[in-house]
Amino acid sequence: MRESSSKPRGDAGATFAHTLVALAVLVAMSAAAYPLAASAIAALGKAASAAFGASRALVADASLRALAARVRPPFWAASIEPANSGDALEAPWLDGVWEKTAVVSWDGEALRIGEAEAAFRVGGLEHVELAWLEDGSGRVLGFALAFEAGGRAWRVEAPFGAFPRPNARVAW
């Protein structure tokens, strides 16, 4: 306390002035750097959003392809009737068993990919459209999925692991 009070007054003023100058310099530097930092932050945010979108798209892609590969109608089976296009696609012959069903559905918030009882959910997708992947003659060969994620459009074509015979269909 005594030491402090014994300091010359000019010293204190100099410190305050220097602090003000330093602050002014900092403000000026910040003002100059702000647009750069802001654009860098925005770019990073955009890149992160795109990366998250891409990773969601890849999860949807990998899950749908893995499920479709498990749909294996025997070669003598008739083509699956593509009657339920829309918000849900259901295909028999999951793991080669007629009674087991592969399900792909969109409930407005998440894409469900899997079996009727146990499906994997993928969120963060927009403008989702489900359809059957067909050959030129209308034979169902797999699932098709279109959506937007991370600001870009994606399309997945996931063929079945085996293909039913052409020129014939049975209702499903």
Partner 1 sequence: MVRAASLVHDGERGSAALGALAVLVLVAAFAAAAYLPLASGVRAAARAEGKAEARAEALDAVLAALPVLEEGAADGVDSRAELEALEASFAGALLVDDVSSRFNPNLIRKNFIEKTTLARLLKPDALVDALQQARVDRGLSVDIMTAYGDFFEAESLEAWFTPYTYASVNTDDEFALERLWFEATGDSSGAAAFREANRRQLEALKLLSPGEFAAWYGVEAATLAPFVGAEAGLNVNLAEMEVLEAALSYPGYGIESPCEVAESLAEAARSRALDRDALAATAGLDGEHPARAWLGTRTWFWRIFARSGDAWFRAIVRMEQGADGKPEAIVVEFREGGPEDDPLRRND
Instruction: Please identify which residue in 63, 64, 67, 72 interacts with partner 1, judged by CB under 8 A.
Output: 72
Decide: is 159 part of the binding site for partner 1 (CB under 8 A): yes
What are the backbone dihedrals phi and psi of residue 75, each rounded to the nearest 5 degrees, phi first?
-65, -20
Q: Per rule CB under 8 A, is residue 42 in the interface with partner 1? A: no
How buried is 50 (Cβ within 10 angstroms: 0-12 exposed, 13-18 middle, 19+ buried)?
Answer: middle
Nearest approach in angstroms of CB 108 to partner 1 is 25
Cα dist. 152→8, 44, 46, 74, 84 in Å? 67, 17, 12, 37, 27
Q: Is residue 82 near partner 1 by the rule CB under 8 A?
A: no
CB 157 within 8 A of CB 67: no
Letters for 86-105 (x = contact with partner 1 by CB under 8 A, - = none) are ----------x-x-------
Torsion sign across C-alpha atoms 70, 131, 137, 169: positive
Positions in the binding site for partner 1 (CB under 8 A): 7-8, 10-11, 14-15, 18-19, 22, 26, 41, 44-45, 47-48, 51-52, 54-55, 58, 61-62, 69, 72, 74-78, 96, 98, 159, 161-163, 165, 168, 170-171
